[in-house]
């Protein structure tokens, strides 16, 4: 069978300090021996390329469809069986680190989807069970009962996770928080948004490398795939592995990617040490600035959504004045009023829009800052006079002891709510001396609104707090410093939490303002789709601002936030591995 090799390498051997990694892309069948032969063929191919770390796709021992739980266990491998022994021997023969994923019959009676890491000596050094099961996997497999390890090796600190574990943030986040530099991701996915969103976003949000191996070919047995497709509401041609296996750098750059179809080996030389730099362009350390004491609700027992649905439709706007500093006040007021006259019920401006560059100039004294802040509120209040529209931006809090950076919610009555910044931001550190103690969600005419301030958006925990408080919409005044924030970061925050996100930034290297809305066609296995399944499982409808325009006006759908099920039994919010988070995200 033809094998495509995609290389992002510097030469026959990796440069000093670099590590050669690879992701294998292939299909499997019901023939366990044939599947093992395929895996061994890829190990040999990787060895010939000088690969030091190889990742194989998820569920490599048997096609991922079973008639019942007993069938899955009969087909499962065991740690002391011949399948695992053959993989260990191959790792030793080709002297590489090998991550393989199989359905495993555990000694305690559980049947799990398990990643196994073999050393170049052929030793099984670590295992990691899948934490978040997708759809029918819940019928046949058991979830993890413990966190997977961060594996310290001579070449890198590795973390392992599988497919649906990466469609939400908690599992890869927990590995990164505990020090992993390279995350090894095995997939068994037909979703096109795995490659475009869920795989690459985990690299820059955690400042780590990702090596992700997906399948191609049918994901159900040929004699059953028609019935399976009918049952899940997915066309037969969509029930194939979506390929696009890839290697992603800590800044979100996809350095090498396989084709969508066909067997492939993706090979790249990576500088592992880049994953030790957790700083944003302004110097903010995104790991050191985390606040685990605020994240306790993430480890709470799921309760489901309590609040009623928001409005079926509401018009929202992200407005970006092109003038700076004090001159932005009049322009912003004009643009806000124009958006409101066009039907907008919510208008979002960039953070600190009335201060040049979105930062406080040290040359400004306290009186000047206070005067401009009060004037900003007054002009925005006037801009929505006589309407029920709301405006969100960020401004300095009260000057003096404990100065905060606040998102402000402005109505025709003035400031009606404030949300202090939750996380340390280096570029604001000269004047922000007080951080918020919680994220508050506000009742507004179109639903429940969370205010997120600037760089709080780069922390996935912030949006989890919002959705756990039953938010429908997030208003984000921010400054995009990096391209990933607008290309994948905010898109994922909307998708993994089912939140409408209205984000306003100055246009620059990090991108432009955007609105992420929620599609009606979402849950697989639903009889109410309005259009055929398009291949994406958890991706919002994204509207980005035209670089030539100063206003982005969108009709959004807050009511869709109540539907959090990405497939049968798999809730994007309550399906988080909440019982395992206390030892990872909360730092305990």
- How far apart are the C-alpha atoms of 508 and 112, rounded to whole Å? 46
pLDDT digits (tens, 9 = 90+) for 405-445: 999 999 999 999 999 999 999 999 999 999 999 999 999 99
DSSP code per residue over 136-168: THHHH----SSPPPPEE-SS-EEEEEEGGGGTS
Q: Are 354 and 397 in contact (CB under 8 A)?
A: no
β-bridge mates for residue 37, sequence order: none
Chain-centre distance for alpha carbon 142: 24
**Average model confidence (pLDDT) for the chain?**
95
Burial of 283 (0-12, 13-18, 19+ CB in 10 A): exposed
Q: Is 310-583 assigned to CATH 3.40.50.720?
A: no
Which of 224-228, 244-248, 349-353, 511-515 is predicted least confidently? 224-228
Please enumerate in sequence order all residues whose Cβ is within 8 A of that of 376, keeping only pairs 6 or more positions apart, or say none: 329, 332, 353, 354, 393, 395
Q: How far is CA 388 from CA 373, 380, 391, 444, in A?
A: 22, 13, 10, 10
- How far apart are the C-alpha atoms of 55 and 60, rounded to whole Å? 11
DSSP β-ladder status, 500-504 and 473-477:
parallel
Q: What is the mean pLDDT of residues 6-35?
A: 95
Q: Are 482 and 280 in contact (CB under 8 A)?
A: yes
SS3 of the chain: helix, strand, coil, percent, to 5: 30, 25, 45
Do you know the residue count of the chain? 588
The per-residue pLDDT for 435 is 95
pLDDT digits (tens, 9 = 90+) for 281-296: 999 999 999 999 999 9
pLDDT of 1 > 70? The answer is no
pLDDT digits (tens, 9 = 90+) for 523-532: 876 767 788 8
Q: Are 538 and 572 in contact (CB under 8 A)?
A: yes
Q: Provide the 3-class DSSP secondary structure of residue 325.
A: helix
Left (φ > 0), alpha (ψ -120 to 50) or beta: where does 103 sit? beta
The per-residue pLDDT for 530 is 80
Closest CA to 395 of 423, 366, 372, 378: 372
Q: What is the mean pLDDT of residues 367-396?
A: 96
Chain-centre distance for alpha carbon 587: 20
The per-residue pLDDT for 561 is 97
The per-residue pLDDT for 402 is 73
The per-residue pLDDT for 521 is 87
- For residue 104, what is the enclosing H or E element? strand 97-105
Q: How many CB atoms lie within 10 A of CB 281?
A: 11
Q: How many CB atoms lie within 10 A of CB 516?
A: 24
The per-residue pLDDT for 401 is 67
pTM, full prediction: 0.97
What end-to-end distance do the CA atoms of the chain give, in Å? Answer: 49
Burial of 586 (0-12, 13-18, 19+ CB in 10 A): middle
Q: Provide the 3-class DSSP secondary structure of residue 82.
A: helix
The CATH 3.60.110.10 domain(s) of the chain lie at: 4-277, 310-583
- How far apart are the C-alpha atoms of 128 and 147, rounded to whole Å? 7
Q: Provide the 3-class DSSP secondary structure of residue 62.
A: coil
Q: E strands of 252-404, at which residues?
A: 254-257, 264-271, 314-319, 346-351, 390-396
The per-residue pLDDT for 532 is 80
- How far apart are the C-alpha atoms of 520 and 560, rounded to whole Å? 6
Closest CA to 514 of 536, 540, 543, 485: 543
pLDDT digits (tens, 9 = 90+) for 116-162: 999 999 999 999 999 999 988 999 999 999 999 999 999 999 999 99
Superfamily designation of domain 4-277:
Carbon-nitrogen hydrolase (3.60.110.10)
Considering only the C-alpha atoms of the chain, give the largest distance between any 2 of them, rounded to a whole number of Å: 76
pLDDT of 352 > 90? The answer is yes
Q: How far is CA 77 from CA 59, 60, 102, 145, 570, in A?
A: 11, 10, 7, 19, 25
pLDDT digits (tens, 9 = 90+) for 535-559: 999 999 999 988 778 999 999 999 9
pLDDT digits (tens, 9 = 90+) for 481-530: 999 999 999 999 999 999 999 999 998 888 999 999 999 888 876 767 78
64-68, 353-357, 453-457: range with highest mean pLDDT:
453-457
């Amino acid at each position: 069978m033809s094998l495509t090799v995609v290389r992002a390498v510097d030469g026959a051997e990796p440069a000093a300090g670099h590590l050669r990694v690879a992701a294998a892309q292939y299909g499997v069948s019901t023939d366990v021996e044939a599947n093992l032969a395929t895996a061994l063929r890829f190990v040999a191919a990787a060895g010939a390329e000088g690969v030091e770390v190889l990742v194989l796709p998820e569920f490599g021992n048997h096609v991922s469809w079973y008639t019942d739980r007993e069938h899955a266990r009969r087909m499962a491998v065991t740690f002391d069986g011949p399948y695992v022994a053959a993989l260990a021997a191959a790792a030793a023969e080709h002297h590489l680190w090998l991550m393989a994923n199989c359905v495993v019959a555990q000694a305690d009676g559980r049947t799990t989807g398990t990643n196994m890491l073999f050393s170049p000596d052929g030793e099984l050094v670590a295992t990691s069970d899948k934490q978040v099961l997708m759809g029918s996997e819940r019928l046949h497999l058991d979830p993890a009962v413990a966190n997977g390890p961060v594996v310290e090796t001579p070449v890198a600190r590795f973390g392992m996770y599988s497919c649906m574990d990466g469609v939400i943030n908690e599992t890869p986040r927990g590995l990164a928080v505990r020090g992993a530099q390279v995350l090894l991701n095995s997939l068994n996915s037909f979703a096109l948004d795995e490659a475009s969103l869920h795989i690459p976003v985990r690299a820059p949000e955690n400042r780590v490398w990702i090596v992700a191996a997906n399948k191609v070919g049918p994901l159900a047995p040929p004699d059953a795939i028609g019935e399976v497709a009918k049952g899940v509401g997915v066309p037969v041609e969509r029930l194939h592995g979506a390929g696009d296996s890839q290697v992603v750098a800590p800044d979100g750059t996809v350095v090498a990617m396989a084709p969508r179809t066909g067997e492939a080996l993706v090979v790249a030389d990576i500088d592992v040490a880049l994953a030790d730099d957790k700083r944003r362009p302004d110097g903010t350390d995104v790991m050191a600035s985390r606040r685990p004491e605020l994240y306790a609700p993430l480890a709470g027992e799921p309760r489901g959504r309590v609040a009623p649905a928001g409005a079926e439709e509401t018009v929202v706007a992200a407005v970006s004045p092109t003038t700076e500093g004090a001159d932005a006040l009049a322009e912003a007021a004009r643009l806000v009023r124009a958006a409101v006259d066009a039907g907008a019920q919510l208008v979002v401006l960039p953070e600190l829009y009335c201060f040049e560059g979105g930062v406080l100039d040290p040359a400004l004294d306290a009186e000047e800052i206070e005067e401009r802040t009060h004037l900003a509120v007054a002009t925005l209040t006037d801009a929505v006079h006589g309407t029920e529209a709301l405006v969100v931006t960020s401004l300095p809090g009260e000057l003096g002891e404990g100065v905060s950076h606040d998102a402000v919610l402005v109505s025709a009555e003035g400031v009606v709510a404030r949300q202090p910044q939750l996380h340390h931001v280096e570029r604001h550190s000269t004047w922000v001396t007080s951080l918020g103690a919680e994220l508050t969600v506000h009742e507004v005419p179109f639903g429940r609104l969370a205010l997120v301030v600037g760089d709080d958006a780069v922390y996935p925990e912030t949006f989890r707090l919002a959705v756990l408080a039953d938010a429908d919409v997030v208003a984000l005044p921010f400054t995009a410093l990096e391209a990933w924030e607008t290309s994948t970061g905010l898109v994922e925050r909307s998708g993994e939490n089912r939140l409408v996100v209205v984000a306003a930034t100055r246009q620059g290297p990090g991108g432009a303002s955007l609105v992420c809305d929620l599609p009606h066609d979402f849950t697989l296995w639903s009889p109410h789709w309005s259009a055929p399944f398009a291949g994406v499982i958890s991706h919002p409808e994204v509207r980005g601002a035209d670089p030539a325009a100063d206003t982005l006006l969108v009709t959004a759908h807050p009511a869709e936030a109540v539907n959090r099920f990405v497939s049968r039994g798999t809730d994007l919010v309550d399906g988080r591995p909440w019982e395992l988070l206390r030892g990872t995200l909360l730092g305990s």
